[in-house]
Structure 1
Amino acid sequence: MKNHLLTATLLFYTLLLYSSSALANALAQNHTPEVDNIRAKYQHIQTHLKDYRTASQDIWGESTEGGKATAHYDHSNVLQRIEVIWFGESGKRIVYYYFDHEQLVFALDQQIHYNRPIYWNQSLADEVGDTELFDPTKSTVIENRYYFKHEQPILWLDNTGQTVDLNIEKNTEQAQAVIAHAKKMYQQFLTP
């Protein structure tokens, strides 16, 4: 299973490298001072991530196969980022929460859907007459980017880079759920 997870992780990062030009164009079009500041904070954290101290916890009860959360603390022991991975047999979900002055400023939500369950091998496929095996290169990635100011949503870009209307109640509720989960995870890692 570890080999499948490693392969799936490598695929995921490969897919990120080849993200659509539509998303790149949408990111370029959404320049406001607030969003630019958030992107600068994101870039700063990403650049220094390898130097940060980490702490991890297993997560149970939020997905079928469990999960793992990893907090990243800077040299001053300030929590900068939390990475949460939920595992499932047909995919996984990764959410990265970025903080500035103890407040959520950005969340990157990636849902990876496998073409077949991770354990789907030749033997299982033969039993049911299937010709396709688990292949991480056939996984699809759906990505949402949330930007926050004072822990209120100010911008949400969907998988195609389009702005999601935050005036629609269900969208606001979804953004609020991101904030609530980030706060929950932040509290769990408050004492390193």
Structure 2
Amino acid sequence: MTNNSLMLSLLIGLLPLTHIAHAKPYQPALHQPVKLNSLAQQKQYIRQIYAEVNNNLGSYQLTNIDNHGHSTEGGVIKFYTDQNQIRLIEEIYYGETGKYSLQYYFANNDLYFVFEQTVRYNAPISFDTPSLGMEAFDIKKSKIAENRYYFYNGSMIQWLDEDKQSVSPNNSRYINKQNQLLRAVENALRQR
């Protein structure tokens, strides 16, 4: 286990639960800790985790924390837990001209996948009629950018950018993004 995954595991295990809500019955996990050598095997495993988490969202315990200090229109951090283990953290930040969200997927207290989405509105949400040479706000005219980050053994193994192109791990942006995401998930965990 790397230092990053050890730190995340410790942070997850030590944080207390607050507000809890239940929905449908729990379905058991389909995975056990596995050593996979190829990128293709690792990504297939991560996709299984992603599907499992999304299929079981209704059975997880949900904790919502308001996070207003980080954006103009407010924000929320949602923690989805299964038997006191984090499965998903979702950060959503609202602004006058867009919305930003991060979803962190976990299995066995290890981070495996991050989905990042930036929505840029065509105009500020307060522009309900054309004004100052700008068109009125129309959610259908928003531009959406998505990035996908795959993690295995505490390190990012692949980054697919908004064009779904793989960013080279030798690129300094890649290392900086990995470190930024690991810090961001640690900060989210501290909010819990």
* Same fold? TM cut 0.5: yes
* 1:29-60 Cα shifts (integer Å, max 9, x gaps): x9611111111001000000111110011113
Q: 1:180 maps to which residue?
A: 183
The code of the aligned residue for 1:52 comes to Y
Secondary structure of 1:161 counterpart: coil
Do the aligned partners of 2:101 and 2:118 also contact (CA within 8 Å) in 1? yes
Query: Counterpart in 2 of 1:101?
Result: 108
Q: 1:150 aligns with which of 148, 153, 168?
A: 153
Query: Gapped runs of 5+ residues in structure 2?
Result: 1-37
TM-score, L = length of structure 2? 0.76
- Equivalent in 34, 38, 46 of residue 42 of structure 2: 34
- Residue number in structure 2 paired with 1:54: 62
Question: Normalised by the size of structure 1, how large is the TM-score?
Answer: 0.76
Percent of aligned positions that are identical: 33
Across the aligned residues of Structure 1 and Structure 2, the Cα RMSD in angstroms comes to 1.6
Seen in structure 2, the aligned counterparts of structure 1 residues 167 and 120 have a Cα distance that, compared at 3 Å, is: same
Q: When you count helix as a share of all residues, which structure comes out higher?
A: 1
**1:87, CA displacement in angstroms?**
0.9
Task: Please identify, of 55-64 and 152-161, the stretch whose mean Cα deviation from structure 2 is larger.
Answer: 55-64
Query: In structure 1, what is the equivalent of residue 172 of structure 2?
Result: 169
Unaligned runs of 5+ in 1: 1-29
Comparing 64-73 with 91-100, which one deviates more in the overlay? 64-73
Cα deviation for residue 187 of structure 1 reads 3.5
Give the number of aligned pairs.
Answer: 155
CA pair 101-187 structure 1, distance change in 2 beyond 3 A: farther
134 and 51 in structure 1: CA distance in 2 versus 1, 3 angstrom threshold: same
Q: Give the aligned residue type for 2:157.
A: I
